[in-house]
């Protein structure tokens, strides 16, 4: 499982030259974020300064990580790149597909049986292409990355929004869609708009009941769920230095909840301690040689308002524990105000469950501090009023906290120890009675608390707080309990006050594990067979999309004119469809089923021009495809906003849609369409959207002259024989036109492999 120290040394080897050059080009001191960005340019040593929030820049990330739900389609695509191995170190982690119900042993056995074919596929494809594979039960992707792969000054991408967790070890780690991961695994560059920078200066020191989680709960309260969009959040100051590395991970993790591109901290002693404790003294030795390049320039932190686009200052000595929610992670309430807020808003005060875990808060320190509260309750004869469950972040943590008696402490209170996996954090929680949809309150240490996220019950009021506060609230069974001022009654009727939590940042006896759950790939995977059953309804090998035939598209039918908002969720719904993420044919049955048809204002009901009947969008698309008739989709503003889900581009491509013509695109979706070999077009004149009629047949008049900067001309033939000529703009450059010609970006990579 060893991290790649040679790769890390290579990154550090070029860092000084690249950062020094960037400082010269930018003409001022640099933040840490800028140092990492400029030292990871695809072009190598920088040759120009970039404008934050404006320029699109090609980067060369050091690593890729994928989780089991998103890895399926990413790896199915990668198989088409024609490569023998991945171009950069990559790992796959089985953590999302394991349900929490009874307890770790039983739940893991059930998952291994139910998702066997998915795990077998991921294992074999990893083995074949040089990818490290972390088996079900090994732990949560981001905890394992922090324990094994993250390194100060590095850049990684991951097919999960909480990839940002690795900022706790001074990385720039960014969540992306599968298509981006495939590019980087295939040896291509990765494009990102040069982010803006938000500085967070932390002064003072955490104390008493306040934990690192409270820093990000406070930041989320200040910035809200959109406040970090397009920006990197960089933390600095004595308060940052005084905090554990895993605590920094918690703060960076929830940067996803404010929409930030990522978050990071400068290299410091807490990182040295953590790297050494996780067996990576050689990374410390290498990092120490370039330590000045692994943090922001002193002048930046001395006068931050001059160098960051936005600045926040938090005094940790005065920060109160926070409880954020319900239903959104940016609704922050300091513990002292919870009674008033809950009463005012009618939130149920009785806490039914306390859950500790998720990639946000499942470190040794988290478990140790929460257990210290449980220990006190047990010692004082206080019985817990709520149920309690934990998901350790990794097998290494589970093994170590078992060895150190921490699990035994939790079990004294009847705690359920679930698998080292995401579990309730991603709705993988078979909670008894949730189907009754009763109004109730739970508290957890996770990052997201949207309606239905944990147990599927829209009336569950989920509150996010630190692990130690989860423990206190679960023991008291009262959302308004303030452990700083309130007392609890023990079994003798005496009032007892809990002391603030304590716990080691790192295990005194070091981490230990018998079987971490890692499978190293074959040294030569050429003979490894990838396991996909032809009869599977969850996995399907992909066939390459057809190359362009070099002719104008003619006789295309309008599949749908989408009205209003059409996000990637409208185009490829999540929920129950997640099960088919590795099966393009099956998941295509959700294509555009959420989009509203402009002609009848109904979802999933469009006219089949071949029969004149109305049917579901996927059914009509399949009918056109079967008849050899191309189709096109028309859309409104910001078409494809939302996630970077590549399924939203692959499904229309698979069902025979040739072009998507809209008023405007969400940029990532536009790029995804291009990558899949489709025509992503925008109306030169937005008002032309209104000219398009339900029975239209479309002919491209000059696709044979497809060139950068040259609009395409489309002829819309209406049912009465009249015609409208519509000009469509596009943003294809030469190489992207190559993707279209080849049938997809991957076809082109494979042709050049
Ligand atoms: Fe995502 Fe939750 Fe799993 Fe973290 S623990 S990776 S937030 S599902």
Residues 6 or more apart in contact with residue 477 via CB below 8 angstroms: 350, 351, 384, 385, 386
pLDDT band at 3 (very low <50, low <70, confident <90, very high): low
State ipTM.
0.99
Q: From the CA of 306, how far away is ligand 1's center (Å)?
A: 36
Residue written as token pair 């050689």:
282
Mean pLDDT of 406-422: 96
First-to-last C-alpha distance (Å) of the chain: 28
**Distance (Å, whole) CA 324 – CA 336:** 13
- Ligand 1 centroid distance, CA of 242 (Å): 26
pLDDT for residue 1: 42
> What is d(CA 613, CA 11) in angstroms, rounded to the nearest whole number?
60
Atom of ligand 1 nearest to the CA of 360: 4
Atom 4 (ligand 1): residue with closest C-alpha?
Answer: 359
Q: Is the CB of 445 under 6 A from ligand 1?
A: no
> Which residues are designated catalytic?
95-96, 160, 448, 643, 645
Give the distance (Å) from ligand 1 centre to CA of residue 338: 26
Summary mean pLDDT of the chain = 96
Q: Distance (Å, rounded) from C-alpha 238 to C-alpha 217?
A: 19
Residue 167 has pLDDT above 80, yes or no: yes
pLDDT score for 530 = 95
* Pairwise CA distance, residues 122 & 119, whole Å: 5
Topology alike, domains 5-318 and 322-496: yes
The CATH classification of domain 556-752, taken from the options 2.60.120.620, 3.30.750.24, 3.20.19.10, 2.40.50.140: 3.20.19.10
- What share of the chain has pLDDT > 70, as a percent? 100
pLDDT for 637 beyond 70: yes
Q: Are 249 and 141 in contact (CB under 8 A)?
A: no
Q: Quick one: how far is CA 419 from the chain centroid?
A: 21
DSSP conformation letters of 340-358 = HHHHHHT---BEEEEEE-T
Q: Categorize the per-residue pLDDT at 452 as very low, low, confident or very high, splitting at 50, 70 and 90.
A: confident
- Give Cα 471 to chain centroid, integer Å: 27
Percent of the chain with pLDDT over 90: 93
Q: Which of 91, 95, 98 to probe ligand 1 with, by most ligand atoms within 8 A of CB?
A: 95
So what's the pLDDT on residue 197?
98
Q: Determine the average pLDDT of the residues in 678-704.
A: 98
Residue 42's nearest CA partner among 230, 160, 234, 183 is: 183
Choosing from 94, 140, 423, 464 the residue with most ligand 1 atoms within 8 A of its CB, the one to mutate for a pocket test is 140
Question: What pLDDT does residue 569 have?
Answer: 86
Q: Residue 426 Cα, ligand 1 centroid: separation in angstroms?
A: 6
Closest-CA residue, ligand 1 atom 3, reads: 422
Best residue among 162, 390, 421, 643 to mutate for probing ligand 1's pocket (most ligand atoms within 8 Å of CB) is 162
Q: Where are the domains of the chain?
A: 5-318, 322-496, 556-752
CATH number of the structural domain 322-496? 3.30.499.10
CA 365, CA 54: separation in Å to the nearest integer? 40
Assigned CATH for 5-318: 3.30.499.10
Tell me the per-residue pLDDT of 109-135, one tens digit each, with 9 for 90 and over. Answer: 999 999 999 999 999 999 999 999 999
The verdict on the CB of residue 141 being under 6 Å from ligand 1 is yes
């Amino acid at each position: 499982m060893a991290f790649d120290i040679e790769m890390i040394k290579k990154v550090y080897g070029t860092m000084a030259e690249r950062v020094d050059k960037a400082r010269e080009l930018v003409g001022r001191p640099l933040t840490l974020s800028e140092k990492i960005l400029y030292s990871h340019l695809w072009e190598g040593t920088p040759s120009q300064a970039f404008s934050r929030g404006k320029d699109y820049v090609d980067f060369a990330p050091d690593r890729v990580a994928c989780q089991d739900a998103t890895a399926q389609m990413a790896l199915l695509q990668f198989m088409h790149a024609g490569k023998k191995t991945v171009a950069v170190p990559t790992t796959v982690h089985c953590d999302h597909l394991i349900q929490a119900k009874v307890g770790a042993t039983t739940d893991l056995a059930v998952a291994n049986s139910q998702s066997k074919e998915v795990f077998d596929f991921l294992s074999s494809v990893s083995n074949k292409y040089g990818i490290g594979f972390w088996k079900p039960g090994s732990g949560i992707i981001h905890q394992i990355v922090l324990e094994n792969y993250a390194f100060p000054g590095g850049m990684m991408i991951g097919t999960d929004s909480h990839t940002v967790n690795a900022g706790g070890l001074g990385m720039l780690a960014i969540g992306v869609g599968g298509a981006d991961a495939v590019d980087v695994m295939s040896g291509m560059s990765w494009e990102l708009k040069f982010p803006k920078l938000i500085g967070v200066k932390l002064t003072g020191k955490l104390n008493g009941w306040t934990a690192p989680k409270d820093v990000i709960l406070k930041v989320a309260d200040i910035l809200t769920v959109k406040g970090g969009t397009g920006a990197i959040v960089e933390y600095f100051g004595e308060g940052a230095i005084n905090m554990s590395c895993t605590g920094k991970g918690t703060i960076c993790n929830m940067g996803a909840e404010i929409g930030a591109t990522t978050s990071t901290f400068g290299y410091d002693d807490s990182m040295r301690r953590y790297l050494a404790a996780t067996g990576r003294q050689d990374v410390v030795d290498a990092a120490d040689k370039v330590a000045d390049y692994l943090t922001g320039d002193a002048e930046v932190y001395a006068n931050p308002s001059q160098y960051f686009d936005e600045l926040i200052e938090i005094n940790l000595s005065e920060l109160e524990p926070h409880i954020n929610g319900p239903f959104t992670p940016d609704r922050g309430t300091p513990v002292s105000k919870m009674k008033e807020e809950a009463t005012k808003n009618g939130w149920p005060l009785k806490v039914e469950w306390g859950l500790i875990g998720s990639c946000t808060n499942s470190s040794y320190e988290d478990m140790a501090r929460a257990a210290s509260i449980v220990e006190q309750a047990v010692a004082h004869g206080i019985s817990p009023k709520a149920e309690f469950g934990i998901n350790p972040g990794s097998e290494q943590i589970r093994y170590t906290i078992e060895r150190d008696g921490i699990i035994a402490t939790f079990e004294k209170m009847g705690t359920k120890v679930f698998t080292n996996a995401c579990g309730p954090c991603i709705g993988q929680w078979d909670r008894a009675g949730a189907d009754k949809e009763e109004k109730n309150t739970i508290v957890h240490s996770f990052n997201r608390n949207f309606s239905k996220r944990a147990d599927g019950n829209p009336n569950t009021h989920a509150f996010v707080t630190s692990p130690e506060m989860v423990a206190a609230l679960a023991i008291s069974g009262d959302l308004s309990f303030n452990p700083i001022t309130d007392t609890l009654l023990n079994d003798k009727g005496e009032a007892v006050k809990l002391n603030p939590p304590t716990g080691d940042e790192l295990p005194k006896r070091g981490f230990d594990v018998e079987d971490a759950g890692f499978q190293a790939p074959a040294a030569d995977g050429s003979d490894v067979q990838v396991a996909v059953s032809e009869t599977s309804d969850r996995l399907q090998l992909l066939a390459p999309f057809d190359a362009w035939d070099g002719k104008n598209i003619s006789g295309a039918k309008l599949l749908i004119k989408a009205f209003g908002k059409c996000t990637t969720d409208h185009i490829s719904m999540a929920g129950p469809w997640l099960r088919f993420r590795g099966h393009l044919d099956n998941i295509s049955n959700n294509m555009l089923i959420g989009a509203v048809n402009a002609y009848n204002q109904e979802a999933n009901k469009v006219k089949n021009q071949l029969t004149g009947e109305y049917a579901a969008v996927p059914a009509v698309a399949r009918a056109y495809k079967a008849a050899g008739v191309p189709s096109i989709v028309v859309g409104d503003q910001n078409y494809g906003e939302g996630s970077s889900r590549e399924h939203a581009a692959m499904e229309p491509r698979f069902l025979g849609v040739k072009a998507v013509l809209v008023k405007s695109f969400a940029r990532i979706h536009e790029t995804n369409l291009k990558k899949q070999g489709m025509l992503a077009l925008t109306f030169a004149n937005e008002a032309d959207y209104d000219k398009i009629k339900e029975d239209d047949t479309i002919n491209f008049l000059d696709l044979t002259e497809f060139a950068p900067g040259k609009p395409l001309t489309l002829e819309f033939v209406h049912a009465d024989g009249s015609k409208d000529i519509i000009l469509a703009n596009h943003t294809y450059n030469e190489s992207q036109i190559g993707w279209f010609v080849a049938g997809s970006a991957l076809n082109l990579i494979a042709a050049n492999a």
